[in-house]
Amino acid sequence: MAKSVQERSAKAAQKRLSVAEKELRHKVRPGIEQAMERICARGKTPIISEVLQIAIMKMDLMGDDELIEFLRYPRHEIVISDNIARMFTRESLLVIQRDTGDEMIHYLD
């Protein structure tokens, strides 16, 4: 005979207790959610929690230096080309020539 919903829930709860399973919740912005969906699709693993568990296990196997580099938050590097730097300097000098900012303001007492 098939088990009732309550029986299945009770069995699942008992199993969670026996393996000391703990629920973790984490809020993410849409970009992270989209990245997780892409990772799940590329890895052919549809369950996000499974992907996260595998990632954590693999990170635990990394050496300290490798892990530090892996966990370094990606930053965008701003590179200004020489051409743009010259244009900016030229435009800045033109603005300064037009308005030096050296005007004298006399206040009446």
In tens, the pLDDT along 48-83 reads 989 999 999 999 999 999 999 999 988 888 899 999
For the question of whether the overall pTM of this predicted structure is more than 0.75, the answer is no
- Model confidence band, residue 109 (pLDDT cutoffs 50, 70, 90): low
Quick check: is 4 in a domain? no
> In this predicted structure, what is the pLDDT of residue 67?
96
| Residue 49 to residues 19, 24, 97, Cα–Cα distance (Å) | 17, 10, 62
Q: Two tokens at 102? A: 């050296």
Domain count, the chain: 1
In a domain, 26, yes or no: yes
Task: Give the model confidence (pLDDT) of 78-104 as tens digits.
Answer: 899 999 999 999 998 888 888 777 666
Contact 36, 48 (CB under 8 A): yes
**CB-CB contact of 1 with 12 (8 Å):** no
Asked, for residue 74, whether it belongs to a domain, the answer is yes
Does 107 fall in a domain? no
Residues 13 and 21: their CA atoms lie apart, in Å, by 10
Q: Give the residue numbers spanning the domain of 75.
A: 16-98
